[in-house]
Amino acid sequence: MPQLAIETFVSQYFWLLVFLVTFHYVTSNVVIPNVVTTLRARKVSASESEETEASESESLVERDSILGGSFGVVGDVTSSNTSIKGALEGAAKSLV
């Protein structure tokens, strides 16, 4: 088994070190700053969204009127799924 051969240990340690250093560099200089920027943007947009909740509800009403009640179909599917789930739970209880 070449993984356990003593001759290959130095090579394996070298590539492990290269990989870990590269991963640390990319994570600390690219990934973490992007995450911090995203979290700050969410915090700012969350504070702005509290001020605009009334305008959002108006836009939802406008969206529903434009789409012509297609969201009613989704509500019907959800209610039928609930009834099917209830029937399956009842059948499972009767089996136990």
The residue type at 18: V
Residue 3 makes CB contacts below 8 A (sequence gap 6+) with 12
Per-residue pLDDT at 17: 97
**pLDDT band at residue 93 under the 50/70/90 scheme:** confident
Supply the pLDDT for residue 6. Answer: 84
Give yes or no for residue 63 having a pLDDT over 70. Answer: no
Assign 50 a pLDDT band (cuts: 50, 70, 90): low
- The more confident residue out of 77 and 55 is 55
Is the separation of the CB atoms in 64 and 71 below 8 Å?
Answer: yes
The angle formed by the CA atoms of residues 11, 14 and 18, to the nearest 5 degrees, is 140
Interatomic CA distance for residues 45 and 49, integer angstroms:
6
At residue 12 the predicted structure's pLDDT band, cuts being 50, 70 and 90, is confident
> In angstroms, what is the C-alpha Rg of the chain?
28
